[in-house]
Amino acid sequence: MPEPGSLPADEALIAGVRAGERRALAKAITLVESTRTDHQQRAQAVLGALLPETGKSIRIGISGVPGVGKSTFIEALGMYLIERGHKLAVLAVDPSSSVTGGSILGDKTRMEQLSQRTEAFIRPSPSSGSLGGVAAKTREALLLCEAAGYDVIIVETVGVGQSETAVAGMTDCFVLLQLPNAGDDLQAIKKGIMELADMVVFNKADLDPTAAQMAATQMRSALGMLRAASPTWRPPVLTLSAVKKDGIKAFWTTIESYRETLTASGDFAAQRKHQALAWMWQQIEEGLRMRFREHAGIKAALPEISRAVEAGSVTPTAAAHRLLAMLNRFF
């Protein structure tokens, strides 16, 4: 039966994603990432048709500075999960990719073993001019991966600007990956990032086990001074060595414990509902901003008003009110 609002070609795409076909999934994500208006309309029809198949995965956000070993960790975790019957999708939020021309997942050789497995799907960060644009496309790619049967979704970020907040806002569990350098490094971690973390992991613990344990102890103390996001979960601090695959099992056991604990308390479902509403409002704000900038009258008036604000002859508030008044006829 044809899906409402979908084209015949998209019906085949929808069926392919439902069947878990990697090629169909890649095409559907490309459609979602397109900026063409007709492609966006088709993408929403495809997403609408696949929505009942979404929501069954565990969504894990992973952030860490370059050199912390994210790729090695994700590959070690991915291979561990595949051996236990899971299907894994790895996505990325990297707003710098449109500037540098690269992507944190652009080079799949960093996860050579994982990228060769049919049970794994690795997708580089979409190229978009803004973090909001990248995050929106990644959220929709996440839904498509769930519809294709991937039960573990990892969203990676390099921690540029507000990207950690964006990733935490689309995942169930946000993991902060750290290097085991005790002392001053703790001071460099922004308080806001620590507050986002549902779990902190010190990788490369094999290089200096004593330093890793000391750093973990300091982190536990620091986290103890922050208010936990959920009254039923205190963010644990783990040490592991991804390159030696030591501690991967303990990490996954902690993820399963997190899911069970928050599901039992109702926080897991409540967080997803909150994220979906926040996503809707984000899209509304993004859409209004775009319409504002594309409005013919505003385009014509903006240069002169901007110059007046810069010269100090008009207050920013008065200028904003004047420009917004031009939109009144649409509301």
Closest CA to 192 of 173, 215, 176: 176
CA distance 197 to 168: 8
Please state whether beta strands 152-157 and 88-93 pair in parallel, antiparallel, or not at all (unpaired): parallel
pLDDT per position as a tens digit, 153-178: 999 987 655 788 889 999 999 999 98
Closest CA to 132 of 167, 173, 175, 171: 167
Q: Which residues pair with 175 in a beta bridge?
A: 62, 199
Task: Label residue 19 by pLDDT band (50, 70, 90).
Answer: very high
Task: Label residue 99 by pLDDT band (50, 70, 90).
Answer: very low
pLDDT per position as a tens digit, 54-83: 999 999 999 988 888 999 999 999 999 999
Mean pLDDT for the stretch of residues 294-320: 93
Contact 182, 218 (CB under 8 A): yes
Number of H helices, E strands in the chain: 15, 7
pLDDT per position as a tens digit, 248-295: 999 999 999 999 999 999 999 999 999 999 999 988 988 888 889 888
- CATH 1.10.287.130 spans which residues of the chain? 280-330
In CATH terms, 1-53 corresponds, of 3.30.70.1560, 3.40.50.620, 3.40.50.300, 1.20.5.170, to 1.20.5.170
Contact 148, 25 (CB under 8 A): yes
- Computed over every residue of the chain, the mean pLDDT equals 86
Beta-carbon contacts of 144 under 8 Å, excluding residues fewer than 6 positions away, are: 17, 25, 28, 29, 32, 46, 47, 50
Contact 5, 48 (CB under 8 A): yes
CA distance 233 to 228: 7
CA dihedral 105, 180, 168, 59 (to 10 degrees): 70
CA neighbours within 13 Å on the CB side: how many for 209? Answer: 3
Q: What is the pTM of this model?
A: 0.87
Class of domain 280-330: mainly alpha
- CATH 1.20.5.170 spans which residues of the chain? 1-53
CATH 3.30.420.480 fits 55-264, yes or no: no
Q: Given this model, what pLDDT does residue 1 score? A: 44
Sheet of strand 88-93, all strands in order from the earlier edge strand to the far edge? 120-122, 88-93, 152-157, 58-63, 173-178, 199-202, 237-239
CA distance 108 to 151: 21
